Amino acid sequence: MAALPPVSPSVSTVSDPSATTQRYTSALSAVTTLFFLWGFITCLNDILIPYLKAIFQLSFAQANLINLCFFGAYFLMSIPAGKLVARVGYKRGMLLGFVVAAIGAFLFYPAAAQRAYGLFLGALFVLASGITLLQVAANPYVAILGPPESASARLTLTQAFNSLGTTLAPLLGSALILSHLPKLDTAASAAAIDVRAVQLPYLVIGGTLLLISLLLSRVNLPAIVHATDNDSPTGSDQRRAWHYRHLVLGVIGIFAYVGAEVAIGSHIVNYLALPEVMGLDPKEAGDQVAFYWGAAMVGRFAGAYLLNKFQPTKLLAINAVGAVALVLISINTTGAVAMWSLLAVGLMNSLMYPTIFTLAMAGLGRQTEEASGLLCTAIVGGALVPLLFGFIADHSSLRLALLLPVLCYIYIMWYGLRGSRRVDAV
């Protein structure tokens, strides 16, 4: 998944413009590490869902409460996190975020020991709350660390590392966690499944978060000073961000994109386990998830070039059409064709988030920061769309449930062609 959008450089400045290149490099390295971990932890949910589904004998809808807790934290905690960061500062905000996320990771140990699904969900919400705080605190640094002319390169770099995390997580997760599961189509006893498989990885994650927090505390991050109202144009303009049609439709676009991407990624393991698809065991299927997220990483590097050559609206529409075609191919085929066509959707996803975000933010001026917050809350699509996906799968089939992401991609196609057109605020 793409990283959260950075705060516009127009609302923040570095208070010490004479900071050395080494100082910028150290700070950017710390923030880039954060984006990698965010991608890794987020994508590890794709491995956690089939594992907990097997342990607790859950339905697809019940298993998707994992996504509801994780992405729901963005919806509930983004505004409080922003107020906290405004009070304590960006560096302290990041340090607190690491500590909260570490506590959530450590809570997986007692949750697994007690075999309590509610404790797992609670631990995941705490972990996601910490990640939310980290994102709110770290976003401005990506845009302002270093010369303005290289800002886009820095943003591409951080998003590439985010994708690297989403690519590695399925490989490590399937080796450490899913390798302890029997085939998903067998009636193995849940009591026989080794819960220690999930305890060790999250203990390591918690320890790593605390270690990075310690290292970050020793990095001299450049201070950020927000622009005041006196720096803004004067006048009686009372319009708010949500008065702009292309922004509101873009918020829906982000909701649809994140929902479709997470819904597919979270169910690839179960989908590839279907006898008519590949009949893979959990570890083999988990290994394939890396291709879904790896394709998104490749697409981002290619997109950095393509977006400078072609109109973003047309590229967005083309990618959405490609995603629709690939999902429909997967639904109507079997075997390797069904598998690879679904995994290739990751390549189509790659350009969607940054393109929708850029189109939605166009021409908002002083409403940029408020608009950014609205777009961040739309990430809750990663909680709600997979939940509906699971409900459909429970009452019909996984194949039919894939029509839900198709509807999401059709909306994104329309947004690229029509919905993103700028209209005067109402």
User: Over the stretch 293-350, which tens digit does the pLDDT of each residue have?
Assistant: 889 888 877 877 777 777 888 989 999 999 999 999 999 999 999 999 999 999 999 8
d(CA 53, CA 120): 12
In a domain, 401, yes or no: yes
Q: CA dihedral defined by 136, 137, 142, 148, rounded to 10 degrees?
A: 100
In a domain, 19, yes or no: yes
pLDDT reported for residue 192: 57
In a domain, 3, yes or no: no
In a domain, 206, yes or no: yes
pLDDT reported for residue 226: 45
Mean per-residue pLDDT of the chain: 77
Please give the average per-residue pLDDT across 163-186, as a whole number. 67
Residue whose tokens read 């997220």:
293
User: Over the stretch 5-48, which tens digit does the pLDDT of each residue have?
Assistant: 444 444 444 444 444 455 566 666 767 777 787 778 777 766 77
Nearest to 48 by CA among 271, 390, 286, 220: 286
In a domain, 151, yes or no: yes
Enclosing domain of residue 21: 9-227+241-419
d(CA 166, CA 42): 7
In a domain, 235, yes or no: no
Q: Is the CA virtual torsion 62, 63, 64, 67 positive or negative?
A: positive
CATH number of 90's domain:
1.20.1250.20
Cβ atoms of residues 306 and 315 within 8 Å: yes
Rg (CA), the chain: 21
User: Over the stretch 262-283, which tens digit does the pLDDT of each residue have?
Assistant: 899 889 988 999 999 998 887 7
In a domain, 158, yes or no: yes
| More confident position, 182 or 79 | 79
d(CA 316, CA 394): 32
User: Over the stretch 88-114, which tens digit does the pLDDT of each residue have?
Assistant: 877 788 889 889 999 998 998 898 888
pLDDT band of residue 182 (cuts 50, 70, 90) is: low
pTM: 0.71
Q: What is the domain count for the chain?
A: 1
Tokens of 146: 């270093």
**SS3 sequence, the chain?**
CCCCCCCCHHHEEECCCCCCHHHHHHHHHHHHHHHHHHHHHHHHHHHHHHHHHHHHCCCHHHHCHHHHHHHHHHHHHHHHHHHHHHHHCHHHHHHHHHHHHHHHHHCHHHHHHHCCHHHHHHHHHHHHHHHHHHHHHHHHHHHHCCCHHHHHHHHHHHHHHHHHHHHHHHHHHHHHCHHHCCCCCCCCCHHHCCCHHHHHHHHHHHHHHHHHHHHHHCCCCCCEEECCHHHCCCCCCCCCHHHCHHHHHHHHHHHHHHHHHHHHHHHHHHHHCCCCCCCCCHHHHHHHHHHHHHHHHHHHHHHHHHCCCCCHHHHHHHHHHHHHHHHHHHHCCCHHHHHHHHHCHHHHHCCHHHHHHHHHHCCCHHHHHHHHHHHHHHHHHHHHHHHHHHHHHHHCCHHHHCHHHHHHHHHHHHHHHHHCCCCCCC
Region label for 57, one of left (φ > 0), alpha (ψ between -120 and 50) or beta (otherwise): left
d(CA 386, CA 260): 8
d(CA 142, CA 86): 17
Nearest to 153 by CA among 305, 314, 363: 305
In a domain, 425, yes or no: no
pLDDT reported for residue 337: 96
